[in-house]
A and B are shown apart, each in its own frame.
Chain A
Amino acid sequence: MRAMVIPSLAGALVFLAVWKLIVVIGGYPAFILPPPEAVGVRLAQAWTSGLIAPHAATTMLEVALGFGVGALAGLIVGYGLAKSSLVARLASPYLVAAQATPILALAPVLALWFGPGLLGKVIIAALIVFFPVAVSTMVGIRTVDAGLLELGRSLRASRRQILFTLEIPGALPAIFGGLRIGITLAVVGAIVGEWAGAERGLGVLINIARGSLFDIPLMFATLVTIAAFGVASYLIVVLIERRLVPAR
């Protein structure tokens, strides 16, 4: 544990030092690039005054729900794609087209349809999570050792037993590759959704800080919050992966 903490701390210190150095050498004013300590102070203030918390809570809820819905749909569709060439042929072009359409272009349409509330952001986050999870699930299920599946058949395993004892454990490492990408994209999706129209959320707060408040340290403090939240949710997925993916 200690062996991992010390390099991480050292890395963070280097990052902050380079940031500070750029500000000093470049002589940038605080409204272009505030120094790290100013952002740190503003971050602490914004959290203690209760300014950030409601926005952060909204974004977290959007990310959690969007990731949950998108990942679940990705798992189911990915399994269908792997098991049925008909499903793969019918659905693949639409899936790829949906993924190739920039989420930024899609977000205003979804905001128009679903309004400024939670639902639109959850849908955008879910959409963007869906694709990597579906593809990684498809690849994971397709690459399950055919010899093991034949073994299962020779032991008269039911479809359900094959799914739970062979296919899922065999595909889990690949699926978690998709979930890792998906969780970081869920954060992106929620923020993009908030930009397209919302009343609350960290994306909204960035806009407010840049616009009406013109509080650039607050904008950076919000960015730091988003980044920290992204890292934390990624780590949660990694921790779940460590519990679920058995050693082999």
Chain B
Amino acid sequence: MTAAIAPRGQIDLLDLALTYPAGQRPALAVLDGLDLRIGAGEVLTLIGPNGCGKSTLLRVIAGLLTPSRGGVFLDGQPVMGPDPRIGLLFQEPRLLPWRTVAGNVAYPLELAGAPRSVIDARVAEVLDRVGLTAATKFLPAQLSGGMRQRAALARALILEPEVLLLDEPFSALDAMTRDRFNVELLALWGRLETTIVFVTHSIPEAIFLGDRVIVLSSRPGRVAADIPVSLSSPRTLLDLDAAGSSSAAREIRAHLDAMAA
């Protein structure tokens, strides 16, 4: 008997379409006929022109928006709404300003009704993982932008999601902080067995972080290109610089330019 444990966190998007706003005219097709499989444990980066529906797609996967057609499947089951197996990191940290870092990170577990002892242990563990142990009792207003986004990442990780969706999480940070974050993320992901979908505007970032880069077409969003990345691991900051001039980067650039033309 083979007791192979099926890997978890596989996402299938089948013929996904979203018209916006629902039931109103003139209707705006944001996504139309999008098919994509994201393998369990894969790191997929999504890139595309402004307004191509990247953020919308992420919200559909997260169950926050209901597609007009088609469906999202997680490990073969349809995603019908927000799901604890799917974590979401927004563009902004979205911390509750009246709660401390620990209180913010604890929030998802509190909503789920976890006992205090479990919450405290998990919060300490997750804060340690993102390097925020020293800031446990700080309020968001006392933190730098980077630390706030770390706290938000800790909050997204505390439910131990199978899938982590990141919506341009570092776009508000300065370039140096952002580079450091990207390296840290890779190290973190090496230890997690989480499927990751990362939306970005930056071609080097998409190549540096991803096992695979998906280029979305301009509205309505479809898969315009599916580009595997063959960077050696472990990747370093030098690879991030090199990523910008790699053949994958040229390919992505060509697709984006073709859409802009």
Contact = CB atoms under 8 A, between A and B. Distances in A.
A238 interface: no
Interface stretch (B18-26, B30-38, B88-96): B88-96
Interface residues of B, number: 22
B49 interface: no
Given A156-B82, A247-B139, A248-B139, A151 B97 contact: no
Contact of A155 (B97, B98, B111, B139): B111
Contacts of A151: 90, 94
Interface in B107-163: 107-108, 110-112, 139-141
Chain A: number of interface residues, binned into ranges: 10 to 19
Contacts of B97: 248
A147 B94 contact: yes
Contacts of B62: 154
A153 interface: yes
* Best-buried of B84, B97, B110, B112 by chain A (most CB within 10 Å): B97
Contacts of B107: 155, 165
A8 interface: no
Contacts of B96: 148, 165-166, 169
Contacts of B81: 156
Contacts of B188: none
A26 interface: no
B108 A148 contact: no
> Chain B interface secondary structure, helix, strand, loop or mixed?
loop
Contact of A248 (B98, B111, B112): B98
A153 B94 contact: no
Contacts of B254: none
Interface in A121-151: 145, 147-148, 150-151
Interface string B42-82: 00000000000000000000111000000000000000011
Contacts of B139: 247-248
Contacts of A157: 111
A166 B96 CA distance: 8
Interface in B199-218: none
A89 to B, nearest CB: 20
B88 A246 contact: no
B162 to A, nearest CB: 15
A247 B98 contact: yes
Contacts of A247: 98, 139
Contacts of A145: 94
B111 A154 contact: no
A25 B15 CA distance: 90
B64 A150 contact: yes
Nearest to A248: B97
A161 interface: yes
B111 A156 contact: yes
Interface in A99-116: none
Interface in A78-112: none
B82 A153 contact: yes
A246 B63 CA distance: 32
Nearest to B165: A154
Interface in A152-171: 152-157, 161, 165-166, 169
Contact of B98 (A147, A150, A156, A169): A169
Nearest to B84: A156
A246 B98 CA distance: 6
Contacts of B88: 154
Contacts of B140: 248
Contacts of B92: 147
A66 B195 CA distance: 58
B93 to A, nearest CB: 9
A153 B64 contact: yes
Contacts of A166: 96
A145 B62 CA distance: 20
Given A169-B98, A248-B141, A155 B82 contact: yes
A161 B112 CA distance: 10
A248 B82 CA distance: 28
Given A155-B111, A248-B97, 9 more contacts: A147-B94, A150-B90, A152-B111, A153-B64, A154-B88, A155-B108, A156-B84, A246-B99, A248-B98
Interface of B: 62-64, 81-82, 84, 88, 90, 92, 94, 96-99, 107-108, 110-112, 139-141
17 contacts: A147-B92, A148-B94, A148-B96, A153-B82, A154-B64, A155-B82, A155-B107, A155-B108, A155-B112, A156-B82, A165-B96, A165-B107, A165-B110, A166-B96, A169-B98, A246-B99, A248-B98
